[in-house]
Amino acid sequence: MNSPRLRLVFAGTPEFAVPCLEACRASGAEVVAVYTQPDRPAGRGRKLTPSPVKQAALAAGLAVEQPESLKSTEAQQALTAYRPDLLVVVAYGLILPRKVLAIPRLACWNVHASLLPRWRGAAPIQRAILAGDSESGVDLMQMEAGLDTGPVLLQRRTSIAREDTGGSLHDRLSQLGAEVLADGLRRTLAGETLTATPQPAEGTTYAHKLDKAEARLDFGKSAIELERQVHAFDPWPVAEGEIAGEPLRIWAAQAIELDHHATPGSVLAAGRGGIDLACGRGALRVTALQRAGGKRIGAIDYLNARPELRQPR
């Protein structure tokens, strides 16, 4: 299949998928259509806003389709009319029925942000950080009817550093996803048939969708668990906790090994280095936070507004 006439339909919605769309455009395949979710209300004005993938597609002059669902006969006929050889799906957000999976001549591919079968599902990046995983990656997977159950074609791996946040790991995996997809497309256009490796039967975990309620910090837990919450939920939904009775968003914090007998959540020390809060085990040093209606600030700026909290270490 050396021809650049490989007809490709891309389906994706958030910023994570944009580098993969660019990889498709640069591959030599013909991107005949881009599918993305309908425009959604966003911002304070709740104005209908196109997805990042739609914005990138329109800027590139590509045809854009935004069905509410792919379950209807009409939606499936519209996709069939594009005569795709390959359907590439990256964080699209809609379920693909069996009939849709059967439309492309060659296959349906998915770029998934985990090392399958660990963290199948909607929020693999944040779940990996919450669980304290030391490694993540991206899989180029051949899609089938189950949720992220298909065989893996190609894979890229990356270490998760202790300081990684949901945002930093997202950005790294987004680029790795584009790399693995570009490799798969290059090989396919060169006539190679990629080896489909079934996922292991052991080690399956599910990355359930994030809930804002999960961002609430329970200081009865260990400091390292809370550190992971703070990191995983940056930039969304952002961890929430109280300092001396004031509800705050906690943007940055680190676990400190410290023996104490203080009440969980109480202030142990507060100064230029941060605000140390007692946890069920250890202490959480808060270094960046946000007051209601305010902006993100450093701990020292917060203490300037609340000098009564200052306590030497």
Q: Is 69 annotated as a binding residue?
A: no
Residue 199 lies in a domain: yes
Task: Please tell me what DSSP assigns to residue 306.
Answer: -
What integer pLDDT is reported at residue 44 of this predicted model? 79
Q: Is 106 annotated as a binding residue?
A: no
Residues of the chain with pLDDT under 70: 1-4, 313
Total domains in the chain come to: 2
What integer pLDDT is reported at residue 1 of this predicted model? 41
Q: Is 173 annotated as a binding residue?
A: no
Helix (H, G, I), strand (E, B) or coil at 29: coil
Shared domain check, 248 and 162: no
Shared domain check, 236 and 166: no
Shared domain check, 257 and 194: no
Give the domain CATH number at 288. Answer: 3.10.25.10
Residue 145 lies in a domain: yes
Q: Determine phi and psi for 141, rounding to 5 degrees.
A: -120, 145
CB 102 within 8 A of CB 113: no
Q: Choose the final residue of a domain: 207, 237, 255.
A: 207
What is the token pair recorded at 157? 């791996």
Residue 2 lies in a domain: no
Q: Choose the final residue of a domain: 207, 223, 251.
A: 207
Shared domain check, 152 and 20: yes
Cα–Cα distance, 140 to 182 (Å, whole number): 10
Shared domain check, 92 and 232: no
Q: 201 is in which domain, residue-wise?
A: 7-207
Long-range contacts of the stretch 297-302 (C-beta < 8 A, 24+) = 299/270, 299/272, 299/273, 299/274, 299/275, 300/271, 300/272, 302/243, 302/275
What integer pLDDT is reported at residue 95 of this predicted model? 87
Which residues does 102 contact at the CB level (< 8 Å), separation at least 6? none
**What DSSP element (H or E) covers 126?**
helix 124-130
Shared domain check, 146 and 165: yes
What integer pLDDT is reported at residue 279 of this predicted model? 98
Q: Choose the final residue of a domain: 207, 241, 267.
A: 207
Q: Is 168 annotated as a binding residue?
A: no
